[in-house]
Amino acid sequence: MTCRASKNLESTHMHDIARLVSIFSLYYQLASCTAGSYYPIHVPCCLLVGRTFAEMMSTNSYIFLDKSEALLLFKHNLSSINYSFDDTLPEFTPCKDWLGSSYYPLMLSWNTSTDCCNWDGVTCDYSTGDVIGIDVSCGMLQGTIHPNTSLFNLPHLQILNLTYNDFIDSKIPREIGRFSNTLTHLDLSGCGFSGQVPPDITLLHKLVSLDLSFNYGSLMLGPHVFINMFQNFTNLEEISLEQVNISSVLPTSLNISSSLKLLYLNYTELQGILPHYIFNIHSLEGLDLSLNSFTGNIPLDISVNLTHLTYLDLSDNQLNGTLPSWLFTSPSLEYLSLRSNMFSRNLPFGSLALPSLKELHLGGNQLTGQIDVQTFLQLTNLTFLGLSNNNFSGEWELDTLLSRLTNLEVLGLSYNSLSVKTKNANHYVNPGFRELYLASCKLKVFPNSFQAMRKLEWLDLSRNEIHGQIPHWVGKIGGNELQRLTLSHNFITGLPQFQWYGLEELYLQSNLIQGPFPPSICNLSNLRRLDMSNNSFGGVIPECVGSMSTLSMIDLGTNNFHGTIPKNISSSLSVLNVKSNKIEGSFPPSVCNMSYLRSLDMSNNSFGGVIPECVGSMMIRLSMINLGTNNFHGTIPDVFNECFLLEGLILNGNQLEGEVPHSLSRCQSLKVLDLGNNKLNGAFPKWLGGLSELQAMQNMVRNRTIPEYLSVDGNSYSMIAVVKDVQQTFTQLLVGYTII
């Protein structure tokens, strides 16, 4: 039988009544559900008697369908995701980035008017007419993959690729083992499959490639299935299990096939000592064990030459010890990442021979030793050099590095003991340079070479020794490409006109900047995070700040602003900090509309009036609120019924009176409670003893104190509370950082 779909059931070769009923049901459903299509139906009504096709397909018995019928039924059981090209697509799919305008519902071409061998995503053996390949990756499909999916009626299938569709909560069918004699490539990545990987998958002994990655961590693989996979898959060359939970698998179970080329077990919750024998697979081209909990070290010597190894990622583990010299003499290695471990001692750069290396990630370790620019100039293919957060020392001539490594796009030297120098001459820089991290590098000026970075996206010059006015040309660095700029903790006194209309994050805190709020900041229509704290800005906060609707964080604390908060400030804020200014007025009603607010600090100002009951509407996400040292009066509103995430409440230094509201008893996450220096009365509330997380409390009633608070460290947002007449800082981690 050819792959062409039948146009008329009367001409179809049918061997039994079950087949006839199944085909009638298929065509009936297609005719009912497919607008604008023609499906002639000439079947006596008596054929409707008996089991329906759906009932038959729910059993374990299979109806042998024509290949095109099987494919059409597979299509019929799914639907197309209703996203146009310009719509925002689900976060799990990178298909729009990959395919651009070619991203469309793949099964549009699946219909009875053409041979199924010509359908998008279908591959046939033209000598036999058999369907041997199904590739509906990025096909805009959604629905459920049923245990008896009609795909199992394609007995000659060799390639099955369902990647990046929406089959959330589907299970991998046990019947996948039916392809044991044919299937060589199976890709179920990024589809949302969940549950246990069935043991039947180990029957696919002809597999060359298996990819179960990116299923949102909902897929689990038991130790017996894992071991049997590698025992049975003797032809396996590529396997990717990223985000599959294999935490019950012991490292000693990694009995890897000698034919393996690519092994990706990153983010799989593996733990234990890193197995050394994994580095003795001569055919290995790519190895990724990152984002696990491996301990131990990398073997200093290996028994084979990994001449084919191009990709090695052991980052984000707990590995330690000395880095072996063979790592830095691998001629084919293009990508090496050992970031975020505990490696120490000097690097064996004396024998450095990595002619193919493009990316080197060593940040976030305890590596030491003197290094200089000359060490890396021979790595002419280098696009990424990440050395941040180590203990390296030495002087670096930045202009030489940037001009000699003409392919370099990302450079990270932050938080070492390095001194970065510049001759401030106009040297060549790769115009495609994207990210530069030079925090805490003793840099004193803006290098002129920055002017050539027309594609710069991220720039971090924080914690340096930059003095005075920022040059006017800095306001044009990167043009519309610049997304994040960090100039905090310097000695900057003045700013240029900002022209970074694509900028999303701007950090200017802890400088010496004076003058009014820069009006050009209001023109940054994509700005999400703005930190201008700990400067000497003055004047009023302009109303244009209220029109910055994309803002999610704004920190203007510890300046000299006066006046009131703009009326229409962004309702999307998660952090609002205006502490230690001279701002006055009542509690801003617009703040009550901030349904995403996590941290609010209005302390040490001149706010007055009552605290409105509308603050209760913010409690569902709020973790910190500090209204201390103001002129609020009246009672504390009893609106804490949904304060499930609240960790800090500071209202000290006001004129509040009355009793402590009983709804605070619902704040089971509360760690800091400071109501001191008010006019509260009444007995000490016994129910506060039920707040098990409470670590600091000040003057719940007059003349009453509670033990001191346990300190907290980290990259965090802070609040000040008074505990036993001593100011202490309480912190909340609000921003994640990536080590480069």
User: Per residue in 703-717, is it b (16+ CB within 10 Å) or e — as a string?
Assistant: eeebeebeebeeeeb
Lowest-pLDDT range, 167-171, 414-418, 562-566, 681-685? 681-685
Give pLDDT, residue 128: 93
Instruction: Give the predicted TM-score (pTM) of the model.
Output: 0.84
> Does the structure show a pLDDT above 70 at 719?
no
Quick: pLDDT tens for 12-42: 333 433 443 444 444 444 444 433 333 333 3
What is the per-residue pLDDT for 97?
73
- Which pLDDT does position 47 carry in this prediction? 32
218 Cα distance to chain centroid: 16
Averaged pLDDT for residues 86-107 = 65
Structure tokens at 49: 């008697």
Residue 358 in this model has a pLDDT that exceeds 80: yes
- 568 pLDDT band, cuts 50/70/90, is confident
Compare 364 and 721 and report the one with higher pLDDT: 364
- Residue in 511, 596, 585, 609 with CA at minimum distance from that of residue 552: 596
Q: How far apart are CA 613 and CA 661, in angstroms?
A: 12
Task: Of 415, 388, 441, 469, give the one whose Cα is nearest residue 739.
Answer: 388
Across the range 489-502, mean pLDDT stands at: 93
Confidence of residue 510 (pLDDT cuts 50, 70, 90): very high
Average pLDDT over residues 539-550: 93
Q: Indicate the DSSP class of residue 705.
A: B
Question: Is 697's pLDDT higher than 50?
Answer: yes
Instruction: Compute how many other C-beta atoms are within 10 angstroms of the C-beta atom of residue 74.
Output: 23
The mean pLDDT value for 393-407 works out to 93
Angle at 667 between CA 735 and CA 684, to 5 degrees: 130
pLDDT at 252 over 70: yes
Question: Does position 132 have pLDDT exceeding 60, yes or no?
Answer: yes
Per-residue confidence band for 48, with pLDDT thresholds at 50, 70 and 90: very low
What is the Cα–Cα distance from 700 to 114, expressed in whole angstroms? 79
> Is the predicted pLDDT of residue 731 greater than 70, yes or no?
no
Confidence of residue 739 (pLDDT cuts 50, 70, 90): low
So what's the pLDDT on residue 683? 63
- The Cα 432–Cα 549 span in angstroms is 31
pLDDT tens digits along 592-641: 999 899 999 999 999 999 999 999 988 889 999 999 999 999 999 999 99
Percent share of the chain, pLDDT over 70: 82
Q: What is the per-residue pLDDT for 93?
A: 60
The answer for residues whose C-beta is within 8 angstroms of residue 41's C-beta and 6 or more apart is 9, 24, 27, 28, 31
Average pLDDT value over all residues in the chain: 84
| Greater model confidence, 126 or 86 | 126
User: Are 280 and 298 within 8 A, CB to CB?
Assistant: no
Give the residue with greater pLDDT, 30 vs 268: 268
Of 220 and 372, more confident: 220
CB proximity list for 347: less than 8 A, separation 6 or greater: 323, 328, 362, 367, 369, 371
What pLDDT, on the 0 to 100 scale, is given for residue 319? 98
The better pLDDT of the pair 693, 553 is held by: 553
pLDDT band at 688, cuts 50/70/90? Answer: confident
- pLDDT value, residue 35: 38
pLDDT of residue 14: 38
Q: Is the pLDDT of residue 701 over 50?
A: no
Q: Do strands 122-125 and 130-135 pair parallel, antiparallel, or not at all (unpaired)?
A: antiparallel
Q: Which range among 86-90, 191-195, 500-504, 557-561 shows the weakest confidence by mean pLDDT?
A: 86-90
| Lowest-pLDDT choice from 17-26, 217-226, 266-275, 692-701 | 17-26
pLDDT at position 354 = 93
Q: Are 637 and 617 in contact (CB under 8 A)?
A: no
Given pLDDT bands bounded at 50, 70 and 90, which one contains residue 101?
A: low
Q: Residue 62: which pLDDT band, with cuts at 50, 70 and 90?
A: very low
Average confidence (pLDDT) over 350-374:
93
pLDDT in tens, 579-600: 999 999 999 999 999 989 999 9
316's torsion region: left (phi>0), alpha (psi -120 to 50) or beta? left
Q: Measure the CA angle with vertex 86, ends 80 and 92; round to 5°.
A: 60
